[in-house]
Amino acid sequence: MKVLAAMSGGVDSAVAAARAAEAGHEVVGVHMALSRSRDQTRRGSRGCCTVEDASDARRAADRIGIPYYVWDLSEDFHDLVVEDFLSEYAAGRTPNPCVRCNERIKFASLMERATLLGFDAVCTGHYARVRAEGPGGAASLHRSRDAAKDQSYVLAVMGPEATSRSLFPLGDMEDKAAVREEARARGLGVSTKPDSYDICFVADGDTRGFLDRHLGEAPGEVVDTDGTVLGTHQGTHGFTIGQRKGLGLQQPAADGAPRYVLDVQPETRQVVVGAAELLSTRVLEATEVVAFEEVPAGREVSAQIRAHGEALPGIVERSDERLVVRLAAPVRGVAPGQTLVLYDGDRVIASATLDRRA
């Protein structure tokens, strides 16, 4: 099989490419340059697409013995991921840029180019498993063996078609230590390279500062549920539902309890705050549904709303143009824009974007 291996310059993608080549596939490595202005080196575990990363990927490809290319996808990344991130925050929503990157870059732009060039599949260093366990033997997406590194949540949005043309060689690895040991044994110089964390295009880790620079100031009020003004802010984009710190309140609650962000309203420039118990909900409503199989009303599922959050039991109440799930127990901090992924055991059933909480 002809396989295009996405190589970020990190240890995971290097070992994945090596495993694909060892399995007998005709592998070609490609490094996706996603940043418009690449730094020379990384800042520890922050940033992406530096010249250092591209060089590390090239050395890994040379060691594996596969061809290697650098593709400039920076315009696609900016238009489809960074601009989406900014517009979602401007609209008072809380997006997950890793989900959008997987959907629109790694398993859309990259897959499209791979198809045009005659590749049969794309290989990445994600931690997930693909099995032929869907309806009629179709490809299904499953959690990885290492629960701590599982990335099925951010991959679910790619859907069944892209899943059937994806290879995740690390899905059965015991843990990250085993991946690093295998990299060392293979002579890959990235075996001790730090993992990347946070949002890759916010290299300094200051998400609020990034939003301020790009969205500018739009002063407004912080109010309680009765509409009483408690403080001011410089932009609703600096807040997300469930937030407790950095609210800039000028007076404490009457009972002395901490306040949390309950709602973000860009149209009125208001941020609504209140008690912790007002954050809880048992009903999740979502749109933009990507289903791996039919999800009939009444089906029992496990629902996950954060990349490393707990999957909670629930029952599907509606699954047409909207997906509605009633949880067995309340969950806090549900924000529009977050990704909802439904599981049956370790198998992904569907992905959707949370619209509102009831």
Residues 92 and 335: their CA atoms lie apart, in Å, by: 9
What six digits make up the tokens of 189? 């110089």
| H helices present in 156-271, as ranges | 159-163, 176-185, 207-215
Residue 339 CB burial class (10 angstroms; 0-12, 13-18, ≥19): buried
* C-alpha pair distances (Å), 319 with each of 99, 163, 294: 21, 22, 9
Residues 149 and 345: their CA atoms lie apart, in Å, by: 17
Annotated catalytic residue 101: yes
What six digits make up the tokens of 36? 């418009």
What six digits make up the tokens of 280? 């809880």
* C-alpha pair distances (Å), 283 with each of 96, 130, 314: 20, 30, 9
> How long, in residues, is the chain?
358
- Which of 48, 98, 101, 123 is the catalytic position? 101
The string of DSSP letters for 112-137 reads HHHHHTT-SEEE---S-EEES-SGGG
What six digits make up the tokens of 148? 């701590």
Annotated catalytic residue 49: no
Residue 269 CB burial class (10 angstroms; 0-12, 13-18, ≥19): middle
Task: Kindly report the three-state secondary structure assignment for every residue of 42-97.
Answer: CECCECCCCHHHHHHHHHHHHHHCCCEEEEECHHHHHHHHHHHHHHHHHCCCCCCH
Are 79 and 41 in contact, with CB atoms under 8 Å apart?
no
> What backbone phi and psi angles, to 5 degrees, belong to 96?
-115, 100
Are 294 and 288 in contact, with CB atoms under 8 Å apart?
no
Just list the catalytic residues. 101, 200
